[in-house]
Structure 1
Amino acid sequence: MDLVNLLKESITLEVLYYTFTFFVVFDILTGMVKAWKNGRFKSRTLRDGLFASLGEVILLALAIVIGILIPVAKPIIFMLFVFMCLKELASIVENLVQIGVHVPEWLIKGLNVYREKLNTLDKME
C-alpha cells in the first residue's frame, strides 16, 4: 500500500477533529502563558477566547454530522478541518515565539505564507 492511500484511510474527519481539539487546548495553554509572561492575564480575555474556541469545536462537531448525513460534502468539510488545524497551529507557534521559545525560522516563514494567502482569500470575498 502506498503512502497516499495509507493517509487517505487513516486521516478521517474524526482524527482531524481530535487533532483540532488537541491544538485548541495547546493554543489556550500557550496563550495563557504568553499573557501571564506579558503581565496581561485577564479573566475577560480568557473567557472570550474560551468561548470562541468552544464555538469552533462545536462547529467542527456539526461538520462531522453533516459529513455523515451528506457524504458528498466530505471533501469540503475535510478542507475546513485542515484549515482550522493550520489556523490553530499558527496561533500556537505565534504564542511560543512571543513567550521566547526558539522556533525554527522555516516554520515561522511557512506559517506567514499561509496567513498571507488566507488574507488574500478573505479580501477577494
Structure 2
Amino acid sequence: MEGIYVWMNFESLQIARAYLFGEVKYLDLMLVLNIIDIITGVIKAWKFKELRSRSAWFGYVRKMLSFLVVIVANAIDTIMDLNGVLTFATVLFYIANEGLSITENLAQIGVKIPAVITDRLHVIESDNDQKTEKEDKAAE
C-alpha cells in the first residue's frame, strides 16, 4: 500500500495534469461544472421518469471525452507553439456549454431562471435550429 501512496502523491498528479492539460486556466471550473451538470441532469431525468443507466453512461463518457479534446488541444498548442491559446479557448467553450446545459436542466426541473437568461437561451436555441435546417438542406 505504501508503494501506491508513494507513486500517487499530489506532486505526481500535478505533473501529469501539467503535461496533459498544460497550464490552462479554469480547468478546475470545467470539472466542477461537469459534475454539477451531471447532478442536474440526473435530477431532471428522475423528475420526468427518464432515468436510464445506458443513456446516463453515454453521457458520462461524453463528459470524459471533453477532457480528451482539451488534451488534444494542448498537444496542438504545444506543437504549433500557440502559448496555450487553443487550449484556453477549448476550455472556455466547454465552460459555456456546461453553463448552458445546467441552466436548461434547472429550468426544466422548475427552478426559476431570470428572464434575461431564458430569452438568451431561446435565441441560441433558435440560431442552432436555423443552422441545422441549413445543414440539412445543403446535405440534400
| Counterpart position of 1:103 | 113
Amino acid at match of 1:40: E
RMSD: 2.7
Normalization by structure 2: what TM-score? 0.66
The answer on whether the counterparts of 1:23 and 1:88 sit within 8 Å (CA) in structure 2 is yes
Deviates most, 53-62 or 112-121: 112-121
Decide which structure has the larger Cα Rg and report it.
Answer: 2
Which structure has more RCO (C-alpha within 8 Å, separation ≥ 6)? 1
The Cα shift of 1:96 comes to 0.3
* Ranges in structure 1 where 5+ consecutive residues have no aligned partner: 1-11
Deviates most, 78-87 or 32-41: 78-87
Instruction: Answer yes or no: is 1:18 the counterpart of 2:28.
Output: yes
% same residue: 25
1:52-75, Cα deviation, whole Å (9 max, x unpaired): 111111211332343344332733
Instruction: Answer yes or no: is 1:94 the counterpart of 2:77.
Output: no
The answer on whether the counterparts of 1:13 and 1:81 sit within 8 Å (CA) in structure 2 is no
Structure 2 counterpart SS, 1:15: coil
